């Protein structure tokens, strides 16, 4: 079935939704950690950070807010709007695709690295770690799907 010019495939909509939901959740979680670095706002004891490089939740909160919050929202927006920004093309290693494709792929990798770092630093695995790691895999697989690749291919 041929795609109408300008129409977005369902897999792209699913990917955009995953990017936005992830980003919004991380903005909330990171914001709470920034506002209450001692963990009191979400009843997480600072003692859980023992053995990590962090004395409180401020730096992890900032990283969560920026890397897993703002970045996926920008990636989702870019997938949706395909803005004609020139600066991202300078770092886009995939010249045959709009730079938002590489940005989306990177957002999935960032999420998986974030979760892997949590598991390693905290020396524990919880259900949410598994869920969000799978979320990162889903983001990568959707980004690599033929419908998304075709939609974000550069038009000659």
Of all residues in the chain, the percent with pLDDT exceeding 70 is 96
pTM higher than the cut 0.85: yes
| Residue 65 CB-density burial (10 A; 0-12 exposed, 13-18 middle, 19+ buried) | buried
The mean pLDDT value of the chain amounts to 94
Residue 6 pLDDT exceeds 80:
no
How far apart are the C-alpha atoms of 26 and 59, rounded to whole Å?
Answer: 14
Residue 2 pLDDT exceeds 60:
no
Q: What is the mean pLDDT of residues 40-48?
A: 96
How far apart are the C-alpha atoms of 150 and 156, rounded to whole Å?
Answer: 13
For residue range 77-123, what is the model confidence (pLDDT) as tens digits? Answer: 999 999 999 999 899 999 999 999 999 999 999 999 999 999 999 99
> Interhelix angle for 10-35 vs 99-122, to 10°?
50
Residue 156 pLDDT exceeds 70:
no
For residue range 53-81, what is the model confidence (pLDDT) as tens digits? Answer: 999 999 999 999 999 999 999 999 999 99
Residue linked to tokens 């949590």: 118
Q: Which residues pair with 153 in a beta bridge?
A: 97
Residue linked to tokens 């989306």: 104
* Residue 155 Cα to chain centre, angstroms: 26
């Amino acid at each position: 079935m041929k795609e109408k010019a300008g129409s977005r495939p369902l897999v792209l909509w699913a990917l955009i939704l995953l990017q936005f939901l992830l980003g919004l959740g991380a903005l909330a979680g990171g914001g709470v950690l920034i506002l209450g670095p001692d963990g009191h706002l979400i009843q997480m004891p600072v003692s859980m950070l023992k053995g990590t490089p962090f004395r409180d939740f401020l730096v992890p909160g900032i990283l969560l807010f920026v890397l897993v919050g703002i970045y996926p929202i920008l990636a989702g927006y870019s997938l949706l709007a395909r803005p004609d920004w020139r600066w991202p093309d300078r770092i886009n290693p995939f010249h045959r695709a709009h730079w938002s494709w590489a940005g989306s792929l990177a957002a999935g990798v960032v999420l998986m690295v974030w979760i892997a770092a949590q598991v390693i630093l905290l020396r524990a695995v919880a259900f949410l770690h598994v869920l969000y790691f799978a979320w990162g895999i889903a983001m990568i697989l959707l980004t690599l799907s033929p419908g998304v690749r075709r939609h974000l291919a550069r038009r000659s």
